[in-house]
Amino acid sequence: MQVIQVRIATVFMLDPDIIMLIKGLTEKGYITARVRPTLEGATVVFIEPPNVIAGKGTVRIDYDFARRVLGIESPSSKEVINALNEVEDLLKEGGIDIEKALVPYEAVVIAEESLKPRFSDNLYNFEDVLGFNLRSAGISLVMEGGDPSSNKWFHMNILPLWSAYKTGDKENRYRITITYRGEKLKLLSFLENLENILKRMFSEV
Kindly report whether the peptide bond that precedes residue 104 is cis, defined as omega within 30 degrees of 0. no
Query: CA-based diameter of the chain, in Å?
Result: 71
Range of the domain at 120: 2-202
**What is the reported pTM?**
0.88
pLDDT, residue 13, reads 87
pLDDT, residue 153, reads 95
Cα separation, 175 vs 157, whole angstroms: 8
pLDDT, residue 25, reads 97
Paired with 5 in beta bridges are 110
pLDDT, residue 71, reads 97
pLDDT, residue 49, reads 87
pLDDT, residue 169, reads 67
Helices (H), the chain: 18-27, 77-93, 127-130, 184-192, 194-202
Q: Which residues of the chain register pLDDT less than 70? A: 169
Indicate the burial class of 117 (C-beta count within 10 angstroms; 0-12, 13-18, 19 or more).
buried
Number of folded domains in the chain? 1
pLDDT, residue 103, reads 77
